[in-house]
């Protein structure tokens, strides 16, 4: 049974790294369900990035811009910021391979959420 599981696992891994397979799977997934799962498992994004190919992920994002925009709107900004900070090289490669129009549409949502989550205006007392 162990050998069968290894073979099934290897097949599943190959499918998970296949852009068309993942893109097709994403087209049937509810973006709010994905965002909720990520928000409930805050370290998931940081840990997952270590195993993803940024070029394949960029291809999936390029193929599903509406899905990504909807997911971004529901994600926890602090979790996204933490993942980005821990995986700077991955984020750079991802951005290099993402369609500029798709990227700007999705990233604007993330930046607005991050700004709101991290921006703390100075109090009147500290300005004096």
Dihedral of alpha carbons 57, 58, 64, 67, sign = positive
Burial class (CB in 10 A: 0-12, 13-18, 19+), 121: exposed
Residue 53 to residue 1: CA distance in whole angstroms: 30
**Predicted local confidence at residue 37, as pLDDT:** 85
**Predicted local confidence at residue 119, as pLDDT:** 61
Phi-psi region at 24: left, alpha or beta (left = phi > 0; alpha = psi -120 to 50): alpha
Q: What is the largest CA-CA distance in the chain?
A: 71
Q: Where are the domains of the chain?
A: 2-118
pLDDT top residue among 128 and 40: 40
Q: What are 83-114's pLDDT values in tens digits?
A: 888 888 888 888 888 888 877 776 677 677 77
**Predicted local confidence at residue 118, as pLDDT:** 66
Q: What is the pTM of this model?
A: 0.56
Residue 128 to residue 115: CA distance in whole angstroms: 25
- Cα dihedral 96, 100, 104, 110, rounded to 10, equals -30
Copy the structure tokens of residue 17: 């790294």
Please name which of 70, 75, 81 lies closest in space to residue 115, comparing C-alpha atoms. 81
What percent of the chain clears pLDDT 70, i.e. is strictly above it? 88
């Amino acid at each position: 049974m162990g050998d069968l599981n290894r073979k099934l696992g290897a097949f599943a891994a190959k499918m998970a790294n296949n852009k068309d397979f993942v893109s097709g799977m994403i087209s049937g997934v509810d973006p709010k369900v994905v965002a909720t799962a990520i928000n409930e498992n805050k370290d998931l994004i940081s840990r997952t990035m270590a195993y993803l190919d940024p070029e394949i992920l960029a291809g999936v994002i390029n193929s599903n811009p509406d899905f990504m925009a909807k997911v971004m709107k529901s994600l926890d900004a602090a979790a996204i910021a933490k993942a980005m900070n821990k995986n700077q090289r991955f984020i750079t490669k991802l951005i290099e391979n993402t369609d500029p129009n798709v990227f700007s549409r999705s990233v604007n949502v993330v930046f607005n959420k991050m700004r709101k989550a991290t921006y703390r205006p100075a109090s009147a007392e500290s300005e004096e």
